[in-house]
Each structure stands twice: as C-alpha cells, then as structure tokens.
Amino acid sequence: MINGVPQLEDLGDLTGKRVLVRCDFNVPIRDGKITDDLRIRAALPTLRWLQDHGATVTACSHLGRPEGKPDPDYSMDPVRDRLAELAPGVSLLENLRFDPGETGDDESFVARLVEGQDAYVNDAFGASHRSHASIVGPPRTLPSAAGRLLEKEVEVLLGCRNEPRRPFISILGGAKVSDKLGVINALLDVVDGLIIGGGMCFTFLAAQGHQVGSSLLEADQIDTCRELLASDNAIHLPSDITALGPGGRIGDPSAGGEVRQFGRDLPDGWMGLDIGPGTAAEFSDVIGEARQVLWNGPMGVFEDPRFEAGTRTVADAVADCGGFTVVGGGDSAAAVAQFGLADQIDHISTGGGASLELIEQGDLPGLAALRSASNAN
C-alpha cells in the first residue's frame, strides 16, 4: 500500500482468479502498423506478474478518440497482435471508446466491464487523469490495485515534485500556454529554473513587448504571461529564434521559404519554429548544472529537419546531465527516441497529460478511485 493505494500484493491469492487490467495502449499507428510500442512493453511487468501468480488476465484500453462508436481506423487489432507476441495468453478487449459509456463513466458500461472478473488492476498511467468508466468504475465493486507501471510513474513524478534534488530545472515546450498554465504555476512553486521554448515562448516574448511576426500567439494569455514574468525571475526565455520566411511551409522544405536566425524580435511574415543556437547553448548550460531535470514538450517543430536543432541540443544536454532526468509527454519522448538518447534518460514517462496533471494536482482521479476500493485500508 503506497499512500493508501493498494498494490498487486494487496489483491490476495489470485490462483484461478480472473483479473481485468486497464492499460494505456493508445500507441501511435501508421498504415496499420505500430510505430512505437513503448506503452505495450511498459505494461508487461504487471501482466506477467499476474499470470505468474495464477490469474487469467484480460487487458483493456482506449485507442485514439473514436467518439463512442465502432470505427475500424481505431480497432485494437494491431495492438492485439503485438500483445500476443509480448504477453501470450493475455486477452484484449476491443477499444473501450467504441462505447459512449466509457468517457461518460456510465454505470451499465462499468457493470459489463467487470462482469465475470474477480479483481481489477489499473496500469494505465497515461489515462489516469480521465474520470472514465474503465479508470474510476471497477474499484467501486472489485478488489483493486495499481499495476507496477502506474506505481513507478507516480513514485518518480511525485518524488520530483515533492522532494526535488536541487537545482531543479524544468523545461517546458509545446504549442499552448493555456494548456500548461496550471503546471507552470505548480512548477514555479518548486523549481529553481523554468526553461520555456516551443510555440508557447512567443506569447511570453510578446508579453515582454517583442515582435513575434507570424509565430503562434495566444493574445488572451499575454497578460497572464506578463504577470508570471513579473512575479518570478526563475523563467528562462529564448534570446534568439530560428524562423521560416514568407512562402515557406512547415514540414515541406521543397516549398521554399527562407530559414533565418533572429534575436527576440521577428519581422512581419516570419514564423518562429525553433529556438536559435545561442538559446540552445544557454539552455544547455542551465541544464548541465541541474541535479534534477523534468522535460515536457519539444523546443521547436523537430519533425522538420530545418527546425530540429534546438530540441536536439536540449535533448543532448538532458542526456548528458549528471542529475536525475525525467522526460514526459509523447512529443518529447518521441524526440529523445528519434535522437537515439532514450537509454541515457533516467525515466521516460508513458503519460503526457497525466504527468502534467499529477505534477499540478499531486493526485489523479485513477489513484483516488483505487484508494476507495474495498481492499484499500
């Protein structure tokens, strides 16, 4: 039992028992093929532990956002095939979100899910910030526990938040300030430095009075950014920007358009798509001094080779950092994998939104549900 959340050991003797395991098998799929099976491999310790202890295991997950009706594009078939290779004998239900009862936490949908099951395990860290039927429903009736992945993620991320090794540097990127406002506020309470890159840096630069050209800008967040900058000097912003000129297209170098470096101000028509080399070096120096790093969100549009340098330099700095390093969020985890640095990171979280919400709130709906199961306490 960790903080009142039951563990696998708290399920008692599982010999001959049927166990339903909620996993987050929401994996990237292109042309019917899984392009990254991290989330499937991450669930194996729990699935194998249950099988080794005599249980018959049924896994379930959502995949994508199919809006409450069956949709062949979101079928679990590719996941089922991969799972059969990695964990023979584990069966897998069809996409939970083919039924509107999943996102609606509908009682009758929960009843169908738990029918015939003797116990429930939540190992879906990446979906545990959703109050959906398969996450919060089963613990109302079944003995329940956190799986090994969920347990590990919570231990690492809450450890970063509650007992940081200092200096603690956090790196945030991604498109929108509005999505990350909660976590920015929570992080500013605990970090020694907050590095901001990615699309959202332009709203901060605009708040300082800079010209951002055609870059992403959330005009309604400028005042909030100004207040954050005024109240906290822990925020590090870019001092130079790599931008794409008029006529260029993201992800399509053949369309033309000039790529150039500027300081903090961009001319009209230019779109900032990466931090510049000076900024990447400055950020790397800050990261190099850290004893704990938490990174969520790329520094630029790294899928386009013209704008990957900033994210690559920051990824190198995180990989080289002697402190404890954690990367969360699908995009930054994908960047680290693309650059071949995954095994130089201490913890790569399988959750994006879930890791941010856990840092922000210190808890998740999926954990609260497990704490209220009949076998907790």
Binding site for ligand 3PG (CB under 6 A): 24, 26, 65, 126-127, 130, 352-353
Instruction: Determine contact, residues 82/36, Cβ cutoff 8 Å.
Output: no
Catalytic residue list contains 39: yes
Residue of 176, 226, 291, 306 with catalytic role: 176
Q: Compute the distance between CA of residue 366 and CA of residue 61 in angstroms, rounded to an integer.
A: 14
> Which among 318, 266, 309 is positioned nearest to 290, based on CA atoms?
318
The residue number with the shortest CB distance to Mg ion is 353
Let me know the angle formed at the C-alpha of 147 by 141 and 149, rounded to the nearest 5 degrees. 145
Q: Compute the distance between CA of residue 132 and CA of residue 136 in angstroms, rounded to an integer.
A: 6
The distance of closest approach from Cβ of residue 96 to ligand 3PG in the complex, given in angstroms and rounded to an integer, is 11
Instruction: Determine contact, residues 252/239, Cβ cutoff 8 Å.
Output: no
The distance of closest approach from Cβ of residue 156 to ligand 3PG in the complex, given in angstroms and rounded to an integer, is 18
Residue of 17, 22, 39, 148 with catalytic role: 39
The residue number with the shortest CB distance to ligand 3PG is 26
Catalytic residue list contains 176: yes
**Residue 65 interacts with which of Mg ion, ligand 3PG, none, CB < 5 to 8 Å by class:** ligand 3PG
246 vs 353, which CB is nearer to ligand 3PG?
353
Window 318-357: contact mask with Mg ion (x via CB under 5 A): -----------------------------------x----
Instruction: Determine contact, residues 352/122, Cβ cutoff 8 Å.
Output: no
Measured CA distances, 99 to 62, 63, 112, 141 (Å): 10, 12, 11, 21
The distance of closest approach from Cβ of residue 120 to Mg ion in the complex, given in angstroms and rounded to an integer, is 23
Chain centroid to CA 42: how far?
14
Neighbours of 2 (CB within 10 A): 12
23 vs 244, which CB is nearer to ligand 3PG?
23
276 vs 328, which CB is nearer to Mg ion?
328
Catalytic residue list contains 353: yes
| 257 contributes a contact to Mg ion by CB under 5 A | no
The count of C-alpha atoms lying within 13 angstroms of the C-alpha of 229, restricted to the half-sphere facing its C-beta, is 17
The distance of closest approach from Cβ of residue 287 to Mg ion in the complex, given in angstroms and rounded to an integer, is 26
Binding site for Mg ion (CB under 5 A): 353
Residues taking part in catalysis: 39, 176, 330, 353
